[in-house]
Homo-oligomer: A and B are copies of this chain.
């Protein structure tokens, strides 16, 4: 068996290592266009910022190690120019010498990754306008910062954009982020990003939404970025983080099927339309694990697992990739935002029926010092209660709850199961009723009809004449800020003051985070009112209406 693997980072390197473990006899050729194999892609921003001062740490495994330990035939700085499917060869060009030659294969695994998008903006090729994909890219950006760049403009407020923001700020660079959409972190539901917007503001980052770069020009003291709005931004350096496109040229030229967004099509065994060619990682179109819809999800975790699975299949083991649920996380200063499974906007776009609940718990027992707040949103099927997706944003413990919910989604668990999840509790680690349990209680209460809820956008859509808005917080909380039109009846006075609540229209109760509002809803419901609790309370209202 002669296996040729094109691309030596996450998916390709995993495939190669797995292949060697499965077969000592196989000839395994690993071809990488760049100088580095198996480097820590996700660590690049942190070397620029200084959190990872030693560049060598990013080289997870050396070429030498791959050669010695795994007996891989590693060819770095070698570009695969084309695939001859009939002859079962690839044409390889040595980047440094230009020398070209053919290499035969029995099986081929394509792991070429995805390339940063470079939209046709005037001046995009100016020095000082960067993208970040590999170590040389990182070196160039770091050199610009080391060289004294005082102002940076980042185009795109996605995951990589925000990681760069953090690292530029750590270096004392005045940073502006420009995002075409009306929110940062476009994969998340918009209201969930409010704490991230706050974190940007708190660290002096300028955020410009619903705008885009129209031209980059060289000025005397650096670059200037002209936005579509007409605004001009001075910049010592610019980084484009506006997304990636699958590196599909090899596949397309070879006549392999690709999807409408360019991802190489594969079956569940990660086989392309040619049975001897597999493809993995950021270059492929895979399936959403929940909906089955085709998706392109450029994430390291799935890429690594796909590498294993492709190698399994090459060596006759029919492993399957179950699809991806898009679990991802980004840190920004002391905040984290994470998601798994479907978002509300994705479900709405696909016309999938769903319900959502939002809670604002702390990460561990409130009586133990250092508890940090988070917002946790869970989406689920209205009929079965099956968990469809989750998002969390906040401080410590966001990753843990999203990981638990990612596992629950994979297992097909329902919100009723979340009520029963038995997580580890000691006051410094969690709560006797963990945030995941709480989300389960609130969601199950909604489905059982015990706890009718409405979210802030739906509330805004109700005419004022249709509803009475009752703020059940204290007078003091009410005085600090409340939803326009609300009447203040503290929950502790509610039972005595039911006569003040009109019975001719729906009542919407709310408190700060939804707990007292829930009790108020129970009181009112049992007193015969038509009532709903505002999901996530005033805190969620403020996230929807910053």
- Interface set of A (CB-CB < 8 Å, partner B): 10, 20-25, 40, 42-43, 46, 51-52, 57-58, 60, 68-71, 163, 289, 299-305, 308, 322, 324-331, 336, 338, 340, 365, 367-369, 399-400, 402-404, 406-408, 410-413, 417, 419-430, 432-434, 437, 441, 450, 491-492, 495, 518-519, 522-523, 526-527
Contacts and interface: CB of A to CB of B under 8 A. Distances in A.
Nearest to A21: B522
Nearest to A70: B519
Contacts of A404: 403-404, 407
Contacts of A425: 42, 299-301, 327-329
A299 B21 CA distance: 44
A10 B305 contact: no
Contacts of A406: 421-424
Given A402-B424, A421-B407, A526 B329 contact: no
Given A408-B411, A432-B300, A526 B421 contact: no
Contacts of A527: 24
B410 A421 contact: yes
How many identical chains are in the complex? Answer: 2
Contacts of A69: 491-492, 519
Contacts of A52: 367-369
Contacts of A57: 367
Contacts of A24: 495, 522-523, 526-527
Contact of A432 (B304, B326, B492): B304
Given A25-B526, A40-B427, 12 more contacts: A20-B519, A21-B518, A22-B522, A51-B368, A51-B369, A71-B495, A301-B433, A305-B420, A328-B426, A407-B411, A407-B413, A407-B421
A19 to B, nearest CB: 11
Contacts of A410: 413, 417, 420-422
Most buried by B among A24, A289, A491: A24
Nearest to A426: B329
A430 B42 CA distance: 11
A400 B163 CA distance: 23
26 contacts: A24-B495, A24-B523, A24-B526, A42-B365, A42-B425, A43-B365, A43-B367, A46-B427, A57-B367, A60-B367, A69-B519, A71-B495, A301-B423, A303-B432, A304-B432, A305-B419, A327-B423, A327-B425, A331-B428, A340-B422, A340-B424, A403-B403, A403-B434, A407-B413, A407-B423, A411-B411
